[in-house]
Every structure is written in structure tokens, then in C-alpha cells.
Amino acid sequence: MNELEVVKCLTGIQDESRIEINEIGWTSRAYIIDGGKIVFKFPRNNKFRLECKHEITALKLLKEQTFSLNIPVLNWTAEDNSYFGFYGVEGKPLREVIDGLSDEQKVEIGTQIGEFLRQLHGMKVCDDLKAQTLEEQALEYQNWYKKGKDLLKGYFNEVELKIIDDFFKYEAPKSMVGTGELVFCHGDLDYNNTLIDGENRAGIIDFGDAGLYDRSQDFRGMEDEVLLAAMMKAYGGDEVISKVAARTTSKMIDVLNLIYCIENNFTDGVDNIENCLKQVKLKILKN
């Protein structure tokens, strides 16, 4: 039985016009039903089944909690981690609405997210989740960069390439120093994985990178100063958050996203070569 037939069989939905296939994910394909009311994920190959297992573990943990904002609710799993499905979160990505929000609305959303993170980071979880210190993360990102940096040569001049290279070699390792305490984090919280509904209520999606990290991990994707300040206040203060590490992580990911888009020739959609190129130029080359 192919992936689409599995989705149709388990949900009872036979009308394929209600099912959208999203191929953009690095490690999995997503089948999105009725705009996100139900979502199924299938790993692209056996190598990525472990990531599916991690996300299933995270969603099971979240199902035991009651949160004030919307999160996915796990409902279908395969014993061999070849797929899983959940009731999704409706709303528009924060990326699409952030520019039209008032400061008051940003504070409201930031407060919701900060309270969610305080509860999430305080959860007691099992040891079989992925765990990574900031130092380990910096090394992993450096290795990814080394493997793909030649792809950047057609997009930057020699001076720009040296700035990017020096950033990965020297600035990033010095900045990626955390508190030493690892907590349960979303792992990839940003404008794409935060959805906002018509009542300005936030929802968090895509827990594929959830695991034990430095708490700054969940602040690196929120760059709006008003929103971020509200998150920090609701969280309980910024003294335990490494802002420098959060900003550095964000910059590294921007470069890696660009390399991934170039490698796969992504020219359409939000995460395309042009948009990723703008982020690198804005956040690394202009600083």
C-alpha cells in the first residue's frame, strides 16, 4: 500500500482533493488534510525513521500535558516508525502575518509562547530523546557547512565568502556556549512553526527536532524585538537565556538552509534560494 493509500485508509477520507502533499521537508513528506486539520508524515528513507521515532516520542510526551496554546495531538503510529499521523493546528504561519501585527498583538502572542516554553522546558522527560549541547551543535553545523560550502560560490564574491567562512570558523564556536543545563525544547521554533488563528491564538507545530538542548534553542527563531521581549517576560526573565548563542544559531541555520535550497534547486515557495540568500546577506554580511 503506498503512502497516499495509507492516509486514505486510516482517515477514511477518499477525496484526494482534500489532501495536499508537501515535499519540502528535509527528512519527511507530509500529507496535509483539510488545510492542516490532520497531518501524516512519512520519512523519506530508512535513515530518517529515527527522526520519526523522536517526533513520535515527543508528541506522546506532549499529549500527557495541558497547554494554553494549540499543539498537534498524536493519533496514528506505525510500529516500525514508517509513518505517524496527528490532529494538526490551524492558522497562518507567523511569518505571513508578523508584519501586519500591532505591538499589542505581538505582546499577546509573545506572552503565549513564553508561557508555553516555561512549561515545556520544565517537563521531566525520558532519556531516549536526542540530546545536544550548544558546543556539540556548533560542531555539527560546522561539519554540514564544510560539506556544502562550495555551493555558495555562485552566489557570493570572495570577500563575502570569507566573511561567512570566518563566521563558522571563529565567531560561531566562541558564541555557542550555554548554561550547561539541557531542557526539553521544541528545537526548531520559528516563524514557520508558529501558527496564528483568527483570534490571535498561537499554535506550535513540527516537533521533529524536539529534544534536550540549551534553553536558548527555542528563542533563536523569534527575531522581532517586541515579540521576543514579551516571550522573555512571560518566560520569567532572560538571565538564563544565552541571547548571543540564540542569534548565532539562527545565523548558522540561515546559511545551512541556503545550501540546502541550492542543492535541491528550491526556487518556489517561502523557503527558496532567493529568500534564504536575503537572510544570509541581512544577518551575516551586514553585521
pLDDT digits (tens, 9 = 90+) for 66-88: 999 999 999 999 988 899 999 99
268 confidence band (pLDDT: 50, 70, 90): confident
For range 183-210, the mean pLDDT: 93
pLDDT at position 24 is: 66
287 confidence band (pLDDT: 50, 70, 90): low
The yes-or-no verdict on residue 178 having pLDDT over 80 is: no
The yes-or-no verdict on residue 14 having pLDDT over 80 is: yes
Return the percentage of the chain with pLDDT > 90, whole number: 69
3-state SS, the chain, equals CCHHHHHHHHHCCCCHHHEEEECCCCCEEEEEECCCCEEEEEECCHHHHHHHHHHHHHHHHHHCCCCCCECCEEEEECCCCCCEEEECCCCEEHHHHHHHCCHHHHHHHHHHHHHHHHHHHCCCCCCCCCECCHHHHHHHHHHHHHHHHHHHHHCCCHHHHHHHHHHHHHHHHHHCCCCCCCEEECCCCECCCEEECCCCCEEECCCCCCEEECHHHHHCECCCHHHHHHHHHHHCCCCCCCHHHHHHHHHHHHHHHHHHHHHHCCCCCCCCHHHHHHHHHHHHHCC
- Residues 126, 54 contacting (CB under 8 angstroms): no
Over the stretch 112-145, which tens digit does the pLDDT of each residue have?
999 999 999 999 887 678 899 989 999 999 999 9
For range 2-8, the mean pLDDT: 94
For range 217-234, the mean pLDDT: 92
Q: What is the mean pLDDT of the chain?
A: 90
pLDDT at position 243 is: 80
Q: Domains, the chain, ranges and CATH?
A: 3-87 (3.30.200.20), 92-285 (3.90.1200.10)
The yes-or-no verdict on residue 241 having pLDDT over 80 is: no
165 confidence band (pLDDT: 50, 70, 90): very high
Q: Which three cell numbers stand for residue 217?
A: 534553542
53 confidence band (pLDDT: 50, 70, 90): confident
Q: Which residue has the higher pLDDT, 179 or 110?
A: 110
